[in-house]
Each structure stands twice: as structure tokens, then as C-alpha cells.
Amino acid sequence: MKMSPELKQAQENMAPGVITAEGFLGTDRRPLVDIIEADEEKMRLFEIGFEEAHEKMAYLLKEGRRGLGDPITVDDTWIVRTDEARGFLPCPFEDGVFRKVTATVTRRETDSEITFSELSLHLLEKHHFLQGTGSSFRIEPELLKETLRL
Amino acid sequence: MSPNIHPVVLLFASIFTSNILLANFLGMCSFISISKDNKSSNGLGLAVTLVLTVTSAVNWVILEYVLIPLDIVYLRYIIFIIVIAAVVQVLEMIIERISTPLYMNLGIFLPLITVNCAILGISLFIEIRRYNLVQSVVYGFGSGVGWWLAIVALAAIRTRTDKAPVPAGMKGPGITLVTIGLMAMAFIGFSGMLSVQ
Amino acid sequence: MDALFLIGPLAIAGISAVLAAVISIVDLIVNNYGECRIDVNNGKRELEVTGGAPLLSTLAENGIYLPSACGGRGSCGVCKVKLLSDAGPILPTELPYLSDQERADGVRLSCQLKVKSDLKIEIPEELFAIQQFDGVVESIRDMTHDIKEVRIRLVGPQEISFKAGQYAQLVSRPYGNVKTAAQRAYSMSSVPSDRRHVEFYIRLVPGGVLTTWVFEELEENEPIRLVAPIGEFHMRGTDACKICVAGGSGMAPLKSIVLDMYEKGLTDKQVWYFFGARTRKDLFYVDELQEVEKKWPNFHFVTALSEPQPEDDWKGEVGLITDVLDRYLKEKVGQDLPKEGYLCGSPGMIDACVRVMQNNGIKEDKIYYDKFA
């Protein structure tokens, strides 16, 4: 499918070393627009809304901040560790800059775990982009549903 | 032989009675998308007028002095498109230099003028109707002004319809197409008044 | 084969060639902005440059370095410059980063503004001191499991002068899958008196472009480029008691400041340095600072672990650095002394420490921290 110049630029910005060392596409060779479409389909399949996922993840990230870099228990259900490094990360879609805040959320009962950052949250909410397969920050819908109890 | 129509008559005909957008329905896609912003509509209208005037003249010259003498009129589709693409490229460079905000506002729609069917359509109409040079340039310029008029009018109407309580399913393209249809019906009133061929 | 057959393709080729020539000529005329003059800070510097490129890179080519977090892509809003002449309307790509006041003042993003005519601009005075340095990596030492000390010998220019506490932007090179260079900011941990070297403490950030390059690619004796000195974090010369807090690689500017003060003999000032970490293996440079503590009675070095492990055999303070700080401010640091705060660490830690300091009577405008984060 033909991509607009903005999407092409975003895909270029997602290459390794442009914004992050690993990039946002992992080992995925598909064009960006196909990745987004396939993931939108997956989220529909698992009946997860992008807004509701974003709300939950943003809440957990905020609560995790109270630990000042160390893991804390949130709502008796999750262990959240929110870490922050200095500096900013620009969004590959060139619509904002984000602090380097990363949260690792583990659900106590099942031990399932997801890792996401402020930037990957923005990519999920505004661009429906969950990152390419093989990326260490990829948000897999199935794992998301299980960990967040959506 | 070229039809016996006075250039001034042709000018008014191409702007009002045979408006390329509202009577012939050519040049729709950027018409619908850019008309949501008044400033860009104005800028695009100007750009389309410039492209139409220049390409009408250039294509007529190539038709008369290259295609017909060499008996390769069947190549007109390819040649006309190449000329249009080149003219749009030059226009892009000039607009970027003169007014960078306009260049950025138009975005992808500036190079898309190349595939605007109104541009190729005008050149082909000129060929079919066997206009002479003056008639071609006037027709091209007039059609551009007509396109400009239509997009500015639609942009003005859309500032109203955007605030009106339109049912959710009709919002955006839906109500826009209905509006264009109504505009076209209004212009049908002109049909037959002035002839273009 | 009939020769007439070729007329069609030849006609197309001929017309295309003519049009291509026209496009090239117009390109040459339209995109040639000629020579432009840029007046910086009302005559302090005047540049003659070839127009057409963005202001940010044009200035960098002429030795004036405006800060940029995104390398000129228009996604960080850091490269602001004040325009005293008219250069056309503000571009849509600049609007999200400019406040109404800035727009009224003529502030623009230098990475989006193309140099098309003569310009008069105004930049902060400190930026004139920033230069580009080429150096050689003299040593890379592991300080903790995720912090390396990188020491660089300067080659061109050979000497640097900076204030203790300032930072530099290190430039990485393409390697492996990474095709572009990147720049990131790191505080200098070396003392200003050592003008031939600069030293950094670099903590590995998972997925970070530059830290990954330092940890995986960079080796001793390799060349490296940096832009320095930048920043307004440095010790103020007042008589107030200095309360410094840092964690992890935040040690860097404070190490530079403490050693610099000791060298310059400013030992009459009270300085408290709180260094927080999780376990013993996250601590480093402790022995050296404890040596300074012995020689400088007014310098107090307090280390605290938030989660000491049994094998750490830890006898020092325990708890979050903010709690330890709070306790000391209430019990151990002289109550009657005016105090200033100096912080270096993650934004979360800084926010928490600022709150603790304010609760203990230190005013917000007397708390200093590196704002480049």
C-alpha cells in the first residue's frame, strides 16, 4: 500500500540508531502502514480498545514513579518499576518529544510482564503503533490483555 | 478548423457556464480535501490557474508544431502528462522559494496537481475542439479561474456546514459531496447560455 | 524496419530533454540564495554564508553551536533563536514549540528557518564559548556493572576551559545497523584545571543510542568528537552551606565541583554531598571522596543504600536518599546556616529532593540542577 511522505519519514526515523539504538521495527520487514493495520486487527480480535489500554498503562506508569526507580506494588495486583534516564526522545512521527521514562509491569498472579515507555504509550494511543515484531519494546496485544487484566 | 468563438465569450464560458469542476466534474480530489481550509484553497486555486494557463499554451504549441507535422498525435497523452509534470515541478520550486508557509500548507497536494484530471482534461479538450493559440490560453486561464472560484466558494460554504448540526454519518465527505452536487445544480442554470465549441 | 517508427520515441525523448533542461535552469535560479550576511548579537560576530541551508547547521559550520536534542529534525524545540530582522512568517513545523510570548518576541526554531537573506539574530552569550573538540579515548574503566568512566585526551583544540558542573555533547559514529551519528549530553567529571582532558561517567541506558555505542563499540585509542562546554549548573560563589545530592552517573558534575573547590582552596565553605544507590555494587568513587573528607573538615560525604544486600555488610545509612537527606537536614546540618541545593540525577529523583529541600526551608530559586534533562 502506498505510504504518504509523513509515514515514509516515520519509518525512516524508526531505523536503528536514529532515535533509539535498536529502532522501533525489530526484525519486521513489512511497511509501517501494514504493521499498524495488522495490529489494529489484532487488538480488535482481542477486544482491547486503544484508549482503555493507554489509560491503564499511563495509570500504572504514574503509580510506579512513587518507587523512584525501585519496584513497588500497585493496587495489590501489579509490581511496577518505573525508571527514568536523562534526555528526550522525539516521536518518529515528528509530533512531540518525550522523557525517557520506562515502566516494567508484572502481574503478580500470573507473572506475565510487559515493558513500555512514555514514547511507546504515545505511539500506541495516537498512532496505533505497537512496534515491529522482534523489538524489545513491542506490545503484544495478547500479553497486554493478560498482564493488564483488560 | 478552430471554432468561431470570441476569446472573451470563451473566458466567461469557461469560468461560469462550463465550469470544469461543476459542469464537467473534473479535478475533484484536491477540490474536496483542500476546501476545508480557506487560505490553502486560495493558494491551490492560484496554483492550478497558473499550471493550467502555462500547460494549455505549451501543449498547444507542441501539438501544432511537433505532434501534427510528425503525425504522432496518438502520443498526446504521454507528452501532455510529461509537460504537466514538468510545469508542476517548476511551480513547486517557485512556491517553495516565494512562500514557504503556503508550500507547507499545500503539502502533498501541490505535486498532486500533476494528476489532477482537470489539467489533462483541459489540454485534451483543446485538442478535440481544435482551438487556436489564443483560444487555448484563454480557455486554460478561464478554466483555472473557474476551478479557483469553485474551490473558494466550497471552502466558504464548508466553514458554515462544519459548524452546523450534521448527522454523524454525513459529516465530512458526505455533506461535502451533497454540497458540491447542489452547487453543480445551481450552475446547470447557466447551461446553453454560452457555447464552448 | 521503417525509420518513421522511431519518430514517436524520439519526439518524446526530445521533449523530455528540453523540459528537464528547463527544470534544471529554474532550480539553479530559484534555489540559489547567494551570499547572505548573518549578524550575531549586534555585531559581536558577523558571518558571510551561502544561503539555502537551515540556520542551525549554517551556524554550526561557522563555529556557533546552538543546543539541539534531536539533531535538527524539528522534534525537540531546543534550538530556539531570537530573530531581530524579518525572515518571513512562522512555519507550521515551528508552531507547536513556540509560546505566544515567544512568537511575539520573534523567537524561531533555527533548524526549521532556512537562510534565504541577510539576518540579524540574538543568542545567549554563553553559547559563544562552545567549541567542537576532537579527542582520543585515553581510557575506559568499569566503575559499576552499568557505569563506565571514559577519559578523553583533547587533540584539536588541545585545551578546554570550563566551569565545574558543565556538560558536553558527545558525538557517536555509525556502526553495525546504525547508519547515522547521534549527539547526547553528559556532565564532565574531570576538574577544570586539567585542561587537556575531559572525563565522563556514562550509565548504560537500555536502547539508548549513545550509551550502547560507548558500551559496545567504543575502544581505547579511538578518536571521538564532542561539543563543549554547555550548561548553567555550577557552584555559586555565595557563603551558603551547599547541599548536594546525586545518584549513579549523577556523581559526575558533583565530583568535578567538589574536587575543583578543594583545589581552589574554597574549604571554608560547608559542603554536604549525599550519594544514594540501591546496593553496594552501585557505589563508586567512594574511597576517593572519603579521602577528601579527611582533609577537608567542612566537607561531609554521606552514602546511603536503599536496599543493602546481606553480603554488602553495610554499616552506613539505609533508606531512600530523599529520606536520608530529610533526616540530615533536620538533625545534622546546621539549622542557622543559609543553604543552597545542588542536584543531579533522574527527573523523578530531582523532583523528590526539591520537595524535601523546600520542606526544610531551602527556597526554590536557591536549588540548582541540570535542566538539560
Mean pLDDT across chain B: 89
High-pLDDT (> 70) share of chain B, %: 100
Task: For chain C, say whether B82 makes contact (Cβ under 8 Å).
Answer: yes
| pLDDT attached to residue C280 | 87
Q: C77 φ, ψ to 5°? A: 75, 15
Sequential pLDDT tens for chain C (373 residues) = 567 788 888 889 999 999 999 999 998 888 777 888 999 988 888 999 888 888 998 898 888 888 876 667 777 777 889 999 888 788 877 887 888 888 888 899 998 888 888 899 999 888 888 889 999 999 999 998 889 999 999 998 899 999 999 989 898 888 887 887 888 889 999 999 999 999 999 988 877 888 889 998 899 999 999 998 988 888 888 888 999 998 888 889 999 999 999 999 888 888 999 998 888 888 889 999 999 999 999 999 999 988 888 888 888 888 888 889 999 888 887 778 889 999 988 777 888 899 999 988 888 889 998 765 4
Residues 6+ apart with CB under 8 A from B163: none
Q: Does A81 touch chain C (CB under 8 A)?
A: no
Q: Does C76 touch chain A (CB under 8 A)?
A: yes
Residue A18 pLDDT > 90: no
CA distances from A100 to A81, A93, A103, A121, C200 (A): 14, 17, 10, 12, 20
Which residues are paired to A89 by β-bridges? A98
Cell of C143: 566503575
C170 shares its domain with C82: no
0.90 exceeded by pTM: no
Do C142 and C120 fall within a single domain? no
Whether C121 and C202 map to the same domain: the answer is: no
Judge contact between C282 and C203, C-beta under 8 A.
no
Which among B142, B139, B179 has a CA at the least distance from the CA of B157?
B179
Contact C26 B90 (CB under 8 A): yes
Identify the CATH number of the domain in which residue C204 sits.
2.40.30.10
Name which of C70, C179, C184 is nearest A17 (Cβ-Cβ): C179
Checking ipTM against 0.85, whether it exceeds it is no
Where are chain A's structural domains?
A: 5-148
Q: Please count the structural domains in chain B.
A: 1
**CATH number assigned to the domain comprising residue C86:** 3.10.20.30
- The percent of chain A in helix, strand and coil, each rounded to the nearest 5, is 40, 20, 40
Between CA B24 and CA B143 the distance in angstroms is 11
Considering CB atoms only, which of B72, B93, B100 is closest to C7?
B72
Would the pLDDT of A138 be above 60? yes
Chain C residues closer than 8 Å to A97 by CB: 69-70, 75-77
Pick from B75, B79, B104: CB nearest C92 = B104
Chain C residues in contact with A95 (beta carbon < 8 A): 75, 96
C109 and C187 inside one domain = no
pLDDT for C371 equals: 61
| A18 closest CA partner among C70, C74, C186, C206 | C70
| Minimum CA–CA partner of C216 in chain A | A21
Among the listed residues B157, B171, B197, B195, the one whose alpha carbon sits nearest the alpha carbon of residue B17: B195
pLDDT of residue B97: 82
The cell 483543446 sits on which residue? B126
C280 and C296, same domain (yes or no): yes
Residue B62 with chain C: CB contacts under 8 Å:
15
The pLDDT value given to residue C78: 79
Indicate yes or no: CB of C348 within 8 angstroms of CB of A69: yes
What is the number of domains present in chain C? 3
CB atoms within 10 A of CB A141: 20
Parent domain of C337? 241-369
Number of residues written out for chain C = 373
Residues 120 through 179 of chain B touching chain C, CB cutoff 8 Å = none
Using CA atoms, how far residue C299 sits from B4, C108, C266, in Å, is 101, 45, 11
For residue B86, what pLDDT is reported? 93
Q: Report if residue B2 sits inside a domain.
A: no
Contacts of A104 in chain C (CB under 8 A): none
CB C114 within 8 A of CB B100: yes
C306 touches chain A (CB under 8 A): yes
Chain B CB contacts of C92 under 8 Å are: 101, 104-105
**C308 touches C280 (CB < 8 A):** yes
| Same domain flag for C301 and C314 | yes
Backbone angles phi, psi at C244, to 5 degrees: -110, 135
Q: What is the mean pLDDT of chain A?
A: 87
C205 touches chain A (CB under 8 A): yes
Do C143 and C213 share a domain, yes or no? yes
The arithmetic mean of pLDDT across residues B75-101, rounded, is: 89
Dump pLDDT digits (tens) for B108-119: 778 888 888 899
- Give the residue from C127, C155, C170 where a domain finishes: C127
> Domain for residue C20, yes or no?
no
Residue B95, C-beta contacts closer than 8 angstroms, at least 6 positions apart: B47, B102, B103, B106, B110
Q: Are residues C226 and C261 in the same domain?
A: no
C327 Cβ partners below 8 Å, 6+ apart?
Answer: none
Residues C122, C158 share a domain: no
Predicted local distance difference test score (pLDDT) of residue C373: 45
Inter-axis angle of helices A141-148 and A50-64, to 10 degrees? 60
Mean pLDDT for the stretch of residues A28-37: 90
B10 versus C178: the higher-pLDDT residue is B10
Inter-chain contact A97–C76, Cβ cutoff 8 Å?
yes
The answer to whether the CB of C19 falls within 8 A of the CB of B66 is no
State how far the Cα of C368 lies from the Cα of C343, in Å rounded to an integer: 6
Min distance C74 CA to chain A CA atoms (Å): 7
Question: Do C301 and C330 sit in the same domain of this protein?
Answer: yes
Q: Which of A16, A97, A102 sits opposite C75 (nearest CB)?
A: A97
Residues of C with Cβ-Cβ distance to B70 under 8 angstroms: 7, 11
pLDDT band per the 50, 70, 90 thresholds, residue A149: confident
Residue of B nearest to C13 (CA): B79
Q: Do C141 and C171 contact (CB within 8 A), yes or no?
A: no
SS3 C102: helix
Tell me the CA distances in angstroms from A132 to A37, A46, A117, C177, one per residue in order.
12, 18, 15, 16
Q: Taking the CB of residue A65, how many other CB atoms lie within 10 A of it?
A: 20
Q: How many CB pairs under 8 A join A and C?
A: 90
Across the interface, of C8, C27, C91, the residue whose CB is closest to B93 is: C27
- Is C318 in the same domain as C250? yes
Contact at CB, C212 and A21, closer than 8 angstroms: yes
Averaged pLDDT, B165-183: 89
